[in-house]
Structure 1
């Protein structure tokens, strides 16, 4: 264990990853402004659907979120330059986590991965070379790092890819139905649009997706297959970038590959003038027990979170309970219909709410088929009427959901007052009607 974790190796992979990471997160943040993502997601909506329990996290008023994302993008530049690195990476991690928790209408797994990686980077000595900090303070400069730096990143990726692969082993992926649905809105793509509609392409995507996720980390670790795995990664991630347009995630995934090649190889490619580090001596630090404890707690959580849905009643594809933070990527397509009825408890009068007046188009899609969105909207209606002095009950009437193109089925119990029922964070919420598999 000491040899595995505390052998000193060349730190070139960590240094170049810091540069790649900083560039990519700055592009993500600046791009979110330029493409209108910030406007559509955080400025135009009357309110956002934050993660339940994080109501205190709200978008800044006016054009404040433009400044927020500009600041994060600038912090990304600072990270790449190694300028005040520790302050920059900690600040970015906190700000990114904040924006992640304040809205989930545009939920993406790579947003969550960015929290984890930037959080890990807070503890790593990534500015010890080729950085503003090391130039200004030569005492900080170093050509080596502990081997555990590499293995922390590798283990995190192994968890992500393995769970992503295992999650695909279910009926709707194996019969390629969900893949067909995902490809339908790609038909207008030039050149490849028509090809993506072919059944044989769906089969290739289906099987390649499972086996790539399952084998890519072991293949990158094993020297005889490393180059082939790297070329497969380039193809896979560029395909995802072009077809699914998922931001920086494919390029971040390619950036991770620097940790799988020999440090000397990375040094020769990116830092030819850097002093080689070839000693590979073992130096056990005084804080070794802190490393064991932090890594043990962190990776235990990472291993348990993706399996928690197995301990929650009913099918996660139906209830969505335990879906997030579990690397269940591109596994379902949800469609829904819903109406909300508000009943005045004193007068007994009722009215049907036109929820479209409150919501953006994307929020409307979410609220019709995701239980936490439905519950949160009921809470908002309760609060709105309370401000007018009315005590109300809120019911989700005619709530129906279709999963992966299957027929619509009743989703929310229309007899349950959602305004006055508590949200269960960890277990099943009984007002979600049973799935056909229950």
Structure 2
């Protein structure tokens, strides 16, 4: 295994991935401006729901976020061209991480994956060929890379698909409830009538499980690799058309280059690239593998299972949901009303969220415990600035996948005084048993 990890292989897969990746980064960031995503999430808001502990991370004032995303697009093109690669890839990683941690209103697992791959690519030798850096500085030019560079990418995408598979084994997925609801919202016209047939939405549900479960083994096996590629094209293009999830379908497809023999990628994409006759092994970047990537992979294996050590069903509590590849898995509906009480005289103070947050922010916040708690903390600070010490209570009812509404937050808990537990269950989130009875 040690000899295999350090064996030199043609670096064509990494080079072509860098080119695709940089182009998609530019499409993602410039597209976010053109489609109004930046405006809706960073310009037309008074504040953003940052990840807890990062409330200090707020958008640039005025139209600053347009400039921010424009710069990221430029960094993406520089990555694609391999120009000042470490600097451009590093800056994009920091800036995109800022976008990710700055807002949860449009939270998406794909954005998290983008953070991870940016970090991985920053540490890989992706500017050694077909790069401006290599032309300007021939001493860094190289035709090979250690085999572990490809294996890291394969391991990362395998982890994503594995946990995406495991997460689907719950009743509302297995009986087609979620896929029926999803197709009901995302389709129209004659196709909507077709999609609402039981056999079709059940087919989509089980095809989703089969794809996530089998795609990596099929890509790893030579005889089924091309079949898996065709299946990937159909699966991701279908998702792109019906779900409108930006670059992710194309981003996911780019990982395929790491599953094919490097020599084949060289012949396909770099016909003029010299063929290496004696690969051998390398000692280059061994410390990067040992001290960063092995711990990194271990952390990636552990993060998605942390919700099993937190009391309650993650589908209901959301505790441990993020960073666990629970993708396109459930829909949450419901409402939240806040009651603000002046502690000095127990007087109820009217408070209207629609004056403070956009409809999109309210729709995202009203069913998620962490965002409800953050809202209570914001309300507390808002009134403290006027000299009032207030308690904040939440009346919250939530439905999962169209099920009957149930109370999510303990109405008697002052959320302004409550603490947020990062690692364990927050007792003010109400739990229910399998029969739907409240657990006290």
Q: The TM-score by the shorter chain falls in which range?
A: over 0.9
User: Which residue is equivalent to 1:240?
Assistant: 239
After superposition, residues 150-229 of structure 1 pair within 5 angstroms as: 150-188=150-188, 192-229=191-228
> Per-residue deviation at 1:269?
1.2
SS class of match (2:119): helix
Cα–Cα, structure 1 residues 45 and 435, in superposed 2: closer, same or farther, change >3 Å?
A: farther
After superposition, residues 383-402 of structure 1 pair within 5 angstroms as: 383-397=381-395, 399-402=396-399
User: Which residue is equivalent to 1:425?
Assistant: 422
1:17-48 deviations in Å (ceiling 9; x for gaps): 00000000100000000000000011101111
Q: Is the 8 A contact 1:9 1:278 kept in 2?
A: no
Q: How many residues align?
A: 435
After superposition, residues 272-421 of structure 1 pair within 5 angstroms as: 272-285=271-284, 287-397=285-395, 399-421=396-418
CA distance in 1, matches of 2:277, 2:159: 30
> Per-residue deviation at 1:99?
0.7
User: Which residue is equivalent to 2:117?
Assistant: 117
User: Which residue is equivalent to 1:9?
Assistant: 9
SS class of match (1:276): coil
Q: RMSD of the alignment, in Å?
A: 1.2
Tell me the TM-score normalized by structure 1. 0.97
CA distance in 2, matches of 1:236, 1:277: 36
1:44-70 deviations in Å (ceiling 9; x for gaps): 011110000001111000000000000
Q: Is the 8 A contact 1:173 1:179 kept in 2?
A: yes
> Per-residue deviation at 1:263?
1.1
SS class of match (2:191): coil
> Per-residue deviation at 1:257?
0.3
CA distance in 2, matches of 1:317, 1:381: 27
CA distance in 2, matches of 1:291, 1:316: 33
CA distance in 1, matches of 2:193, 2:25: 33
User: Which residue is equivalent to 1:30?
Assistant: 30
SS class of match (1:122): helix
> Per-residue deviation at 1:198?
2.0
Q: Is the 8 A contact 2:187 2:242 kept in 1?
A: no
**Runs of 5+ unmatched residues, structure 2:** none
SS class of match (1:185): helix
1:168-195 deviations in Å (ceiling 9; x for gaps): 011110000011111111232x663332
SS class of match (1:419): coil
CA distance in 2, matches of 1:436, 1:356: 34
Q: Are residues 1:137 and 2:165 paired?
A: no
After superposition, residues 85-104 of structure 1 pair within 5 angstroms as: 85-104=85-104
SS class of match (1:277): coil
CA distance in 1, matches of 2:365, 2:13: 43
After superposition, residues 61-76 of structure 1 pair within 5 angstroms as: 61-76=61-76
Tell me the TM-score normalized by structure 2. 0.97
**Runs of 5+ unmatched residues, structure 1:** none
